[in-house]
Chains A and B, each alone.
Chain A
Amino acid sequence: MIHDFHYLKPGTLKEALAMYAEHEDCKVICGGQSLLIVMRQGMIAPENLLDIKHLNELNYIKFDEKDGLRLGATTTHRAIEKSEVIKKYYPALVAMENKLASIQVRNWGTIGGNLAHADPAGDPAPLLIALKANIKVGSAKGERVMPLDEFFVDYFEIAMEKGELVLEVHVPVTQPKTGIAYQKFNYLTNDMGIVGVAASVTLNGGNTCKDARVVLGNAGPTPRRSKKAEEFLIGKALNDDVFAEAGKIASEDCEPVADIHASEDFRRHVIGVLTKRMLKKAFEEAQGK
């Protein structure tokens, strides 16, 4: 049962930030597709609930060929999935959203809420980190921007100070000759991933790897880059053997835990396989550009 709370409904972002600064023991609700579940389970029982779902100031998709993509925090998953401009410039984002939970959840759930919830099994974070996204947070005192891979601190914990809200996700322009791929492994297509892997590969002319990212989902307390796999890839002439070796490195460079869905060993195995496959897919896409 959900515990009673004091409901705060700000009219503007400025008002929201002021309210958030004023109230102790305050949680923020946007789409609430994850939050209401944990509230119902009694895992959290905040005294105050600040609703920002209706703040249209934060509901936007902006794209500029020099600046890249900017997603306001209250933009829904479905808006991202249906965006023509995202489909054109970041097709991997559309493919990821298409497999995120269900249509109903995507219609109401938001990108800012998903990231702030910081479930290590969440889909957007690994892919956005592979895309080198930044996240903008702000409080009544001011705003700051950090790389998304520094945003996640621990299970459901993020690098935000008291009174700060997620405001925007910024995805820079993808470098030329770059391919991006994400896949999660699960038993039902749209479930949360037992594990997931996002990979980006930038080629340096020919088949040599100029830059790479390997980001693992649900392979530890936070979405995490396998920097060892990335270092191994950069500068190498890419082929299937290199992808397999990078997969092996990634499968050892993570901290998955066993649960009812899979053992630790199985998770490591799948991380290795998915890393290999996603690198190959990203590589082939980069070659085609």
Chain B
Amino acid sequence: MEKRLITLNVNGIDYELYINPKTLLVEAIRDHIGLTGTKRGCDTVSCGACTVMIDDMSVKSCSILAVQAEGKKITTVEGLEKNGELSPIQKAFLDNGSYQCGFCTPGMLMSASAFLKENEGKDVTEEEIREGIEGNICRCTGYNSIVRAIESVVKGNYKEG
């Protein structure tokens, strides 16, 4: 079996991995690095539970080879907090009860974070927020509480750090 030595930068830390090139990014993050916040759901680019950010863009880590993410800045849900303090979107999810079972939450937080980053300082509509999380399925909440949480961050109800 072929193996390659690669370096993945996850949440600002370089991890050296010796892996089979067929290893998916989600497998590298969960099984090799040990960050299990990122979830493995459908495995077919449908559900969004495995969403992470690569260079601040949301992507589905179940359908990217880990070797393809080399040299890029990967952010997982564990990387959202700063100095032990939850990020604004995480606080807003708590306050708005934006989860029930919690399985979609890490992916949802990553899509929401990418959306907020992309639209920083802009006025966004509810429709745009809903489009921003189009790639993430939640089977519990009916999305309304998630949309409310994102909306409250957009409105500036939560400050960084």
Contact = CB atoms under 8 A, between A and B. Distances in A.
B131 to A, nearest CB: 8
Contacts of B48: 102, 104
A156 interface: no
A153 B131 CA distance: 35
Interface size class of B (residues with CB under 8 A): 20 to 34
Contacts of A61: none
Interface in A90-106: 101-105
A36 B63 contact: yes
Interface in A1-46: 2-7, 9, 29, 32-33, 36-37, 40
Contacts of A108: 54, 57, 59-60, 63-64
B141 interface: no
Q: What are the 5 A-B residue pairs with the smallest beta carbon separation, nearest first? A: A102-B135, A7-B21, A107-B57, A2-B22, A104-B135
Secondary structure at the B interface, as helix, strand, loop or mixed, is mixed
10 contacts: A2-B24, A5-B22, A7-B65, A29-B68, A32-B68, A36-B65, A104-B135, A105-B45, A105-B60, A108-B60
Contacts of B67: 7, 9, 51
A142 to B, nearest CB: 28
Given A2-B22, A36-B24, A104 B59 contact: yes
Given A4-B1, A32-B65, A190-B134, A104 B51 contact: yes
B63 A103 contact: no
B111 to A, nearest CB: 7
Pick from B4, B24, B51, B59 the residue with the most CB of A within 10 Å: B59
Contacts of A49: 21
Given A32-B64, A33-B63, A105 B22 contact: no
B21 A103 contact: no
A6 B2 contact: yes
A65 B126 CA distance: 37
Nearest to B107: A104
Contacts of B63: 32-33, 36-37, 108
Interface residues of A, number: 27
Nearest to B50: A104
Interface in A61-105: 78, 101-105
A53 interface: yes
Interface string B23-40: 010000000000000000
B65 A107 contact: no
Contacts of A190: 134
B44 interface: yes
A107 B24 contact: no
A3 B1 CA distance: 10
Interface string A248-262: 000000000000000
Given A7-B65, A36-B24, A53-B68, 15 more contacts: A3-B22, A4-B22, A5-B22, A6-B21, A32-B64, A32-B65, A54-B68, A101-B135, A102-B48, A102-B134, A102-B136, A103-B58, A104-B48, A104-B58, A108-B57
B159 to A, nearest CB: 26
Nearest to B63: A36
B11 interface: no
B132 interface: yes
Among B43, B54, B58, B111, residue most surrounded by chain A Cβ atoms (within 10 Å): B58
Contacts of A51: 65, 67-68
Interface string B113-124: 010000000000
B56 to A, nearest CB: 10
A101 B22 contact: no
A45 to B, nearest CB: 10
